[in-house]
């Protein structure tokens, strides 16, 4: 089980830490008890009960769709599990946060109004925004439901990031405020980041699993970490196999030092569509991460969108670019509901407008008109 699309340990990375999933375990200090994700070998008979009985540890959770346990471990327990033949990996349940910089435009640049005029608005498609929640009462948004994995109401967003992302995807075509790429989708608030903009790896996996169980068509994750996680990779791979298109922000680390990849996770995983950010001149925004894992670009500088409470604001970041692509994915799902996630992703990548070195721009800026055959 590896990171075929990722490049662990290259150059400088984002400031937010997830867990390192390399070579069988975390490489972080474990002096005190903490929460970990324990991956079981594929054909192992080990389960939560065995682990609790054999090692006298507390298993907090057994994920439904992946062979991974969430447990609290001491230093000694952690070290012991690394030598257990039935254990594939052990990694810390670290923190994930949203990608954001400062200030926002983009719907016109990708010609979304033109495809709306031809009837492409995302009707009937379910989109999950895994973020800080969505301000349900905003007059420019219609949220049909959701779930929270941070002990906060998913329909209350005291950070603003999730509401801003939601507006780029699905702000209503109601002659006020702003317009989203896919204004008629069914919008779901899946709260995996708290008011401070951060959340746990286990909570995000819960959000992905919830999206699968509730038949989402598209997941947007404008969040990430510089370090990979085997548990996260299992979760996004399962989502794709279950028919969900997974889109994520590439990260805001720019070119970094040493010329290596700076694309974060989960964007760097093969099953995820990694999105970088461009400015109004079709240039890579200086903050936008680079690397061979980058798939496409979308507007991400000075993006104006919905914001709590009942207002609007401008923000920068690959967080703002990713929802443009999630919105396009929703339009494509609405056009062809039987298309697989791989087919949707390939269409988006193959119809993008090339504007520079793929290491910095991926396939280029998304082109909804071409993707939809207009």
Closest CA to 298 of 29, 111, 115, 84: 111
Catalytic residue, candidates 202, 222, 271, 319:
319
Distances (CA, A) of 358 to 110, 270, 283: 19, 16, 13
Contact 239, 273 (CB under 8 A): no
- DSSP code string of 174-214: SSSS---SSTTSEEEEEE-S-TTSEEEHHHHHHHHHHHHHT
Judge if the upstream peptide bond of residue 266 is cis by omega within 30 degrees of 0. yes
Active site residue 286: no
Active site residue 161: yes
Contact 277, 298 (CB under 8 A): yes
| Lookup: tokens for 107 | 């719907």
| Lookup: tokens for 152 | 């906060």
What angle is formed at CA 301 by the lines to CA 176 and CA 182, rounded to 5 degrees? 45
Q: Could you tell me which residues are beta bridge partners of residue 147? A: 190
Number of H helices, E strands in the chain: 10, 16
In angstroms, rounded to a whole number, what is the distance separating the alpha carbons of residues 370 and 21? Answer: 38
The DSSP output letter for 255 is T
Give residue for tokens 């040493």: 258
The DSSP output letter for 119 is T
Active site residue 295: no
Which conformational region is residue 7 in: left (phi greater than 0), alpha (psi within -120 to 50 degrees), or beta? beta
Judge if the upstream peptide bond of residue 272 is cis by omega within 30 degrees of 0. no
Helix (H) or strand (E) holding 233: helix 230-241
Catalytic residue, candidates 70, 94, 120, 161:
161
Active site residues: 131, 161, 319
């Amino acid at each position: 089980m590896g990171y075929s699309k990722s490049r662990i340990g290259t150059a400088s990375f984002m400031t937010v830490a997830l867990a390192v999933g390399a070579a069988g375990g975390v490489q972080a200090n474990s002096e005190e008890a903490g929460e970990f994700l324990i991956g079981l070998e594929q054909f192992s008979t080990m389960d939560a009960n065995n682990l609790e009985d054999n090692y006298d540890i507390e298993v907090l959770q057994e994920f439904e769709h992946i062979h991974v346990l969430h447990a609290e471990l001491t230093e000694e327990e952690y070290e012991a599990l690394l030598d257990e033949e039935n254990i594939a990996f052990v990694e810390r349940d670290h923190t994930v946060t949203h990608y954001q910089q400062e200030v926002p435009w983009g719907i016109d640049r990708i010609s979304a109004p033109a495809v709306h005029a031809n009837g492409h608005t995302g009707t009937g498609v379910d989109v999950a925004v895994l973020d800080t929640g969505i301000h349900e009462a905003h007059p420019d948004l219609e949220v049909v439901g959701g779930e929270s994995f941070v002990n906060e109401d998913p329909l209350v967003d005291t950070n603003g990031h999730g509401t801003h992302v939601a507006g780029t995807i699905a702000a209503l075509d109601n002659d006020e405020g702003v317009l989203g790429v896919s204004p008629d989708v069914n919008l779901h608030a899946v709260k995996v980041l708290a008011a401070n903009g951060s959340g746990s790896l286990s909570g995000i996996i819960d959000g992905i699993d919830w999206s699968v169980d509730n038949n989402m068509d598209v997941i947007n994750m404008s969040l990430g970490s510089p370090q990979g996680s085997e548990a996260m990779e299992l979760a996004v791979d399962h989502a794709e196999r279950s028919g969900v298109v997974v889109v994520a922000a590439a990260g805001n680390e720019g070119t970094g030092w040493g010329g290596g990849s700076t694309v974060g996770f989960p964007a760097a995983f093969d099953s995820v569509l990694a999105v970088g950010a461009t400015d109004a001149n079709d240039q890579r925004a200086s903050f936008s991460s680079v690397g061979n894992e980058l798939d496409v670009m979308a507007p991400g500088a000075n993006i104006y969108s919905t914001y709590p409470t009942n207002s609007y604001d401008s923000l920068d970041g690959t967080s703002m670019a990713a929802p443009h692509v999630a919105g396009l994915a929703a339009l494509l799902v609405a056009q062809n509901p039987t298309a697989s996630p791989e087919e949707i992703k390939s269409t988006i990548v193959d119809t993008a407008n090339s504007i520079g070195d793929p290491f910095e721009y991926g396939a280029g800026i998304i082109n909804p008109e071409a993707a939809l055959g207009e």
